[in-house]
Structure 1
């Protein structure tokens, strides 16, 4: 069982000295990946319900600093050597897929192949409006953008024709390090997200789930994978828990979970942040390795 850490990019975790301290300490203590999420804009009074809490509200204040995830991970890559790096998640339909292909491959090259592209379809209608992107059809847009991005990674001279994007005989370099591929993880807890993960992704990231919910969702996901002949040995299942307890790890592993992601906010100084990561490692990594 791998243990990841989702702690950077927001509030105190958006400050460069904290990003540096947490990234280095997480690598030194053996965390598997650093995850960073995204919102391009926040609003004081959202029209959309946040899907990952019981009350429909996101816990992050609208006026908090929230760093761009790809730039944050590039900074983390520069101060580390081994730890994995993942967007958790990039809201793909809000972006130009040609630009994302370029940025993701650049980060993969600069990190020597440590990057995982986690994507989601988004939930905030306010955010889509601010960016001038239609909220409706964002699931289809996400799937098409992934196909376009993979085409750009795979082909020297790439051509793509879709509903939302098209290009002809373009070159986008560099290419990803690992056989022109970057693993893609699909976020989202609903049935449509699980079907989408099993169909177009290399893994799934479930967020703010109880352990019981994670087991149930993993079982549904396994059914979708079986229908599509997607074996478990090349498909990652990562979950961030609301009732995080290391004693739950064996049961989650039996359910097919391959990574538990610890979601927490770091303290305000580098020394405190370093000790904080060490405490998380003591709590989570020893049981995970048992």
Structure 2
């Protein structure tokens, strides 16, 4: 069965705690499989480099973004059965040892429902500099970021030494309830090679499904012998950052394509829908997404 998840309300001035709670609990009651968070923490007034989304410049919705791990911690307490995931966390916004502890704590609070940890190298030069991270090292830093995380979630004592991060010997608790699956949000040639080497899943955004399958074949051709193939959790926006709008029926059709292709799941993004100007508008949009669930399970 193809899973269907939703990006949590996280961006823009309409977000408040009551909305996040109501959205999460309603989505759980409707039968959605996952709730997902994304990751930005500042809006550069002077932007260096290109924006990584579909628009030419960073959308105004990014002027307010609720922090991903804190949001997941609250949603873990407000829900009881729906799974949780990150799509995606930017490596340069975090240090892996502290992130490992935060994610393991959320998983414990959620009773093991933090299922997938999505990671990518990010695009914001300004966010990297604010974290004291050289943006030119994004890829190489990610090569060391993933094994550092895995070491921290592994047996104690934790010992790891790499070109960017050094840990232990030390004790690190809590551990995740079960092993996380890691999902790559990288699309470049080096990023796809990194996906093949270090990740379990790939989040290709809203590329056409035939292109996704072609690129996935390239990833799995690079996969080490004996490792299970990388699968896909596909992301589709009801309205993308450039303002291109899909109807709910079109999102359902794309979800059916994902199911027919045998891919694992779909994430539906609603944070950029232009009609959202209040919590009520967000909840109204959520109530109309039932056809997407039906498309995944037909």
Aligned to 1:231: 228
Q: Matches of 1:209 and 1:105 in 2, distance apart?
A: 32
Whether the 8 Å contact between 1:11 and 1:66 is mirrored in structure 2 is yes
Pair 89,13 (structure 1): closer, same or farther in 2 beyond 3 Å: farther
Q: Matches of 1:142 and 1:171 in 2, distance apart?
A: 23
**Which residues of 2 match residues 18-97 of structure 1 at below 5 A?**
18-53=19-54, 55-62=55-62, 64-97=63-96
Aligned to 1:189: 187
Q: Matches of 1:99 and 1:289 in 2, distance apart?
A: 38
2:261 aligned residue (255, 260, 264):
255
Q: C-alpha deviations, 1:15-56, integer Å up to 9, x for none?
A: 111111110111111111111111122202311212331x43
Aligned to 1:139: 139
Q: Matches of 1:279 and 1:171 in 2, distance apart?
A: 47
Aligned to 2:242: none
Aligned to 2:240: none
**Which residues of 2 match residues 177-216 of structure 1 at below 5 A?**
177-178=177-178, 181-216=179-214
SS of alignment partner, residue 227 of structure 2: coil
Whether the 8 Å contact between 2:185 and 2:203 is mirrored in structure 1 is yes
Question: Is the aligned partner of 1:112 residue 2:111?
Answer: yes
Whether the 8 Å contact between 1:184 and 1:203 is mirrored in structure 2 is yes
Whether the 8 Å contact between 1:21 and 1:270 is mirrored in structure 2 is no
Q: Matches of 2:162 and 2:107 in 1, distance apart?
A: 26
Aligned to 2:285: 276
1:240 aligned residue (235, 239, 262):
235
Aligned to 1:6: 7
Q: Matches of 1:269 and 1:81 in 2, distance apart?
A: 26
In the superposition, the TM-score normalised over structure 2's length comes to 0.86
CA offset at residue 212 of structure 1?
4.5
Q: Matches of 2:92 and 2:44 in 1, distance apart?
A: 19
Alignment coverage as a number of residue pairs: 282
SS of alignment partner, residue 38 of structure 1: coil
CA offset at residue 216 of structure 1?
3.5
Whether the 8 Å contact between 1:197 and 1:204 is mirrored in structure 2 is yes
CA offset at residue 130 of structure 1?
1.6
In the superposition, the TM-score normalised over structure 1's length comes to 0.88
Gaps of 5+ in 2: 238-245
Q: Matches of 2:190 and 2:259 in 1, distance apart?
A: 23
CA offset at residue 168 of structure 1?
2.2
Q: C-alpha deviations, 1:53-79, integer Å up to 9, x for none?
A: 1x43233445x2101101111111111
Q: Matches of 2:61 and 2:236 in 1, distance apart?
A: 21
Q: CA RMSD in A?
A: 2.2
CA offset at residue 165 of structure 1?
1.0
Pair 60,261 (structure 1): closer, same or farther in 2 beyond 3 Å: farther
Gaps of 5+ in 1: none
Q: Matches of 1:9 and 1:61 in 2, distance apart?
A: 9
SS of alignment partner, residue 238 of structure 1: strand
Whether the 8 Å contact between 1:188 and 1:207 is mirrored in structure 2 is no
Q: C-alpha deviations, 1:201-235, integer Å up to 9, x for none?
A: 1211122434444344333334334x544334xx4
